Structure 1
């Protein structure tokens, strides 16, 4: 019984260590650099005061918002049914490859391979509240 407890404890410590390294693996984002990287997104998405829907939904207040919930934008059924809440981890994995994260999405963007670019864009988007003002 003592051996079982030891191995359960060791496995728990290993899981915590692995979770910590996954969190540490996401680089710290720089909003100023994110604004530059967001230029790749600006053909389809707008953010900031008076941002309007375009080919894609406006991204004001996207961090913390439920996927497929920008009123008036026609999302794919896959996006509406995804159940995703746009936290940093979900945005990061979506930006790596939208069609992999949400099969059936209308978003045709191939993805951002650089983790730092994704972190920077997320930091940039986090600045904006739902009305487009900076927090």
Structure 2
């Protein structure tokens, strides 16, 4: 194989690998969500548990699910204009206690950036 063809093959592999890694994987997000199910629910028959339902989370103001008893920190965040954008969710899911000090969520966070992106992609399916 000549060098130009070899270089092209390597460049294509790197490009495709990067594209595949950075794409959101809803299936992986569904698998990641299994870690959340003990406290959160999502879908047609979702109910508040220890944590609020997550239907429509992307774009929703913090602390606004009716019937759920939020922490003072979450209510204050919502009153201060905190909206669950994808960026805010990325920050929160990395380290909930650091992102919103005083919240009740007992979760260490998702350190893997791709897992956070995939989880958000999964949750976006349950928008209202």
Same fold flag (TM > 0.5):
yes
User: Structure 1 pair 88/55, CA: closer, same or farther in 2 (3 Å)?
Assistant: same
After TM superposition, the score normalised by the length of structure 2 is 0.79
Aligned pair count reads 104
**Corresponding residue for 1:107?**
105
Asked whether 1:91 is paired with 2:89, we answer yes
Which residue in 1 is equivalent to 2:120?
A: 122
Inter-partner Cα distance in structure 2 for 1:112 and 1:129: 22
Residue number among 7, 27, 40 corresponding to 2:35 in the alignment: 40
Q: TM-score, normalized by length of structure 1?
A: 0.75
* Counterpart-to-counterpart distance in 1, 2:58 and 2:74: 16
Match in the other structure for 2:73: 78
Q: Considering only aligned residues, what root-mean-square deviation do their CA atoms show, in Å?
A: 0.8
Gaps of 5+ in 1: 1-26, 131-135
Q: 1:69: which partner in 2?
A: 64
Off by >4 Å, runs of 4+ in structure 1: none
Cα distance, 1:28 vs. partner? 3.0
Aligned pair partner of 2:44 in 44, 49, 53: 49
CA distance, structure 1, for counterparts of residue 93 and residue 102 of structure 2: 15
In the TM superposition, residue 49 of structure 1 has moved relative to its aligned partner by 0.8
Instruction: Tell me the alpha carbon deviations over residues 30-56 of structure 1, each in whole angstroms, 9 at most, x when there is no partner.
Output: 111100010000110000111000010
Provide, for residues 35-92 of structure 1, a one-character-per-residue CA deviation record: whole Å limited to 9, x for no partner.
0010000110000111000010000000000011101100001111113100100000
- Specify every segment of 5 or more residues in structure 2 that has no aligned partner in the other structure, as ranges: 1-21
